[in-house]
Amino acid sequence: MIRIAPFGRVLAVAAAASLALTACGGGEETASPASSAPAAPASSAPAAAAGDGVLTVGALLPQTGDLAFLGPPEFAGVKLAVKEINEAGGVLGKPVVEIDTDSGDTKTDIASQSVDKLLQQNTDVVIGAASSGVSKTVIDKITNAGVVHFSPANTSPEFTTYADKGLYFRTAPSDVLQGRVLGDLIVQDGSDTVAILNRQDSYGNGLADEVEKSVSGGGGEIVVKTAYDPAAADFSADVAKIKEANPKAIALIAFNETTKIIPELKKQGLGPDKVKIYFVDGNLADYSKDFPKGTLEGIKGTLPGAKAPDDFRQKLLSVDPALTDWSYAPESYDATVLSALAAEAAKSDAGTAVASKLIDVSKGGEKCTDFAACLALLKEGKDIDYDGLSGPVEFSDAGDPSEATIGIYQYDAENKYANITYLSGKVAG
């Protein structure tokens, strides 16, 4: 028995379909958008290439997901920068507009939708994302729209050589540097057999490779290198594999899985009292609420970025009084200020124009350290060299900082980390 839809039903379907479309407020356009194709860019359409006179900064930073703990200081850094820029008169005579969106993590499609929203709102510079994995998923989308993709926290070495149309920049140094520092730290502490347990993504694998090079180059031996699945239900098998190799030191390159891995390490007799454990920027966080006292005591870790000066911390607190963590706040601040300066130098807020001046304002010229002073110099027609809070910020041609600072930290009995020292160096020859 075949049921052939009667004509009336077909009509009803069509009516329902068009009704649904209309209900959504749109009307008829674009089931076949080709017909409207030649239409000149509509007046209200995002001005990707031309610029609309207002510098719009879109923050694409983690509010949810694996790196949510990095979100608040990064947002605060951007907000503080925008506030100071606007107090100094804004860019091109108009206040800078900031739009906050969530970058989520790679398990979700949030970042892609956030970018759509940002592009819709005429964003000229996207500040984000925190995770290298997330940035990789949106970099094509952002740069193809002629918008600057400026990350304060991506450290994956892959971005140095990515085909980004000259629109990708970052204020965080590539992990080549962090890996080198961490490896040397391990060697200095005298561990000749080292295990690396890393998160399986571009961040974890990239950093693990650099640590391995550095440790073996300095005479140590990597006895086991395991990448774990961040979504795994438990880590006992991964830890058992490390246990079998019996290392003297473990480099734990992880995000928030750390709260599951540390108890497992302790259980299998690999706690910080038995072997030397090292954290990295992905998991160097305040664990005072997660673990009983003394759990992490003695663990060391590395984190790119200079010390956030006390007055900068006070200013950040005025933006977000709930802040307890400062990771990547200076980098976010610098990224925003640099974008504003580049827009001012280019006399345009368009993404491509900003990108063309970003390297210029970061080096080679009269030094200045805050937006107001730099703006004054620019208005006098001088070439400037912005030295930021995260370091001297001298961009290489690939848009990476060529000099950077890495902090070395150690956990105390309260499971909070405190700085031991800062080291500066050139990222690459």
Partner 1 sequence: MDWTLIFSRAVEAGIGTEAVIYALAAIGLNIHFGYTGLLNFGQAGFLAVGAYGVATTVATLGLPFWLGIVIGLAAAVLFALLLGIPTLRLRADYLAIVTIAAAEIVRLVVRSVALQGTFGGTDGLEAFSDDFYGMNIYSPGQYGIGPIAFDHRTLWVLTVGWILVAAACAVVYLVMKSPWGRVLKAIREDEDAVRSLGKNVFSYKMQALVFGGVIGSLAGFLFALSRAATQPDLFSTELTFFAYTVLILGGAARVFGPVLGAVIFWCLLILVKTGMEEAVNHQVITFITVNQVGSINYMLVGLGLVLLLIYRPQGILGDKREIALDAR
Partner 2 sequence: MRRAVIAFTAFLGALFILLASPAWAEGESLRGTLQNQGQPVNGVKISVTSGDGQPVGEATSGADGKWEVQVPAAGSYKVTLDQATLPAGTVLKFKDRATLSVQVFEGNYRNVLFALASGDAAGVATPPDGGGSSAFWTRVAQLAFEGLSLGLIIALGALGISLIFGTTGLTNFAHGELLTVGAFIAFVLNSTFGLHLLIATPLAVIVAAGFGYGQERFFWGPLRNRKTGLVSMMIISIGVAMFLRYLLLFLFGGENVPYEQYVAQDGIKLGPVFTTPKSLIAMGIEIAVLIAVGLALTFTRLGKATRAVSDNPALAASSGINVDRIIRIVWAMGTAVAGLAGIMLGTTQILNFQMGQQVLLLMFAGVTLGGLGTAFGALVGSLVVGMFVQISTIWIPPELKTVGALAVLILVLLVRPQGILGRRERIG
By the 10 Å C-beta count (0-12 exposed, 13-18 middle, 19+ buried), 345 is classed as buried
Q: Which residue has the tokens 């992905």?
A: 282
> Interface with partner 1 includes 119 (CB under 8 A)?
yes
Q: Count of CB atoms within 10 A of residue 45's CB?
A: 11
Output 140 or 209, the one with its CB closest to partner 2: 209
| Site track for partner 1 across 259-278, x = CB under 8 A | --------------------
Helix or strand run (H / E) with residue 9: helix 7-23
Helix or strand run (H / E) with residue 112: helix 110-120
Among residues 208, 213, 173, the alpha carbon closest in space to that of 398 is found at 173
| Site track for partner 1 across 205-244, x = CB under 8 A | x---------------------x-xxx-------------
By the 10 Å C-beta count (0-12 exposed, 13-18 middle, 19+ buried), 419 is classed as exposed
Report the partner that residue 238 touches, choosing among partner 1, partner 2, none (CB closer than 5 to 8 A by kind). partner 2
Least Å from the CB of residue 265 to partner 2: 9
**Given 106, 191, 258, 352, the residue binding partner 1 (CB under 8 A):** 106
Report the partner that residue 77 touches, choosing among partner 2, partner 1, none (CB closer than 5 to 8 A by kind). none
**Given 51, 58, 133, 392, the residue binding partner 1 (CB under 8 A):** 133
Instruction: Give strand pairing partners of 411.
Output: 417
Output 317 or 408, the one with its CB closest to partner 2: 408
CA distance 152 to 261: 27
Vertex 308: Cα angle to 400 and 255 (nearest 5): 65
> Interface with partner 1 includes 322 (CB under 8 A)?
no
Least Å from the CB of residue 15 to partner 1: 11
Least Å from the CB of residue 29 to partner 1: 5
Where in 171-210 is the site for partner 1 (CB under 8 A)?
Answer: 200-202, 205
Least Å from the CB of residue 302 to partner 2: 10
Least Å from the CB of residue 235 to partner 2: 8
Where in 45-84 is the site for partner 1 (CB under 8 A)?
Answer: 45-46, 48-49, 63-64, 68
Output 280 or 368, the one with its CB closest to partner 1: 280
| Site track for partner 1 across 381-400, x = CB under 8 A | --------------------
Its sign, for the CA torsion 175, 387, 338, 342, is negative
Output 47 or 197, the one with its CB closest to partner 2: 197
Sequence-ordered alpha helix ranges (H) in 233-367: 236-245, 258-267, 310-319, 329-346, 351-362
CA distance 17 to 38: 26
Q: For the packed helices 371-379 and 329-346, what is the interaxial angle rounded to 10 degrees? A: 10
Output 192 or 320, the one with its CB closest to partner 2: 192
Q: What is the maximum alpha-carbon separation in the chain?
A: 85
Prior bond to 231 cis, omega within 30?
no
Length of the chain: 429
Least Å from the CB of residue 258 to partner 1: 17
CA distance 226 to 239: 9
Prior bond to 129 cis, omega within 30?
yes
> Interface with partner 1 includes 42 (CB under 8 A)?
yes
Helix or strand run (H / E) with residue 206: helix 202-217
**Given 11, 53, 87, 144, the residue binding partner 1 (CB under 8 A):** 144
Least Å from the CB of residue 146 to partner 1: 9
Helix or strand run (H / E) with residue 276: strand 276-279
Give the count of residues interacting with partner 1 (CB under 8 A).
Answer: 66
Among residues 114, 112, 104, the alpha carbon closest in space to that of 58 is found at 114
Where in 151-170 is the site for partner 1 (CB under 8 A)?
Answer: 163
Report the partner that residue 108 touches, choosing among partner 2, partner 1, none (CB closer than 5 to 8 A by kind). partner 1
Binding site for partner 1 (CB under 8 A): 2-4, 13, 16-17, 20-21, 23-27, 29-34, 36-37, 39, 41-42, 44-46, 48-49, 63-64, 68, 100, 102, 104, 106-110, 112-113, 116-117, 119-121, 132-133, 136-141, 144-145, 163, 200-202, 205, 227, 229-231
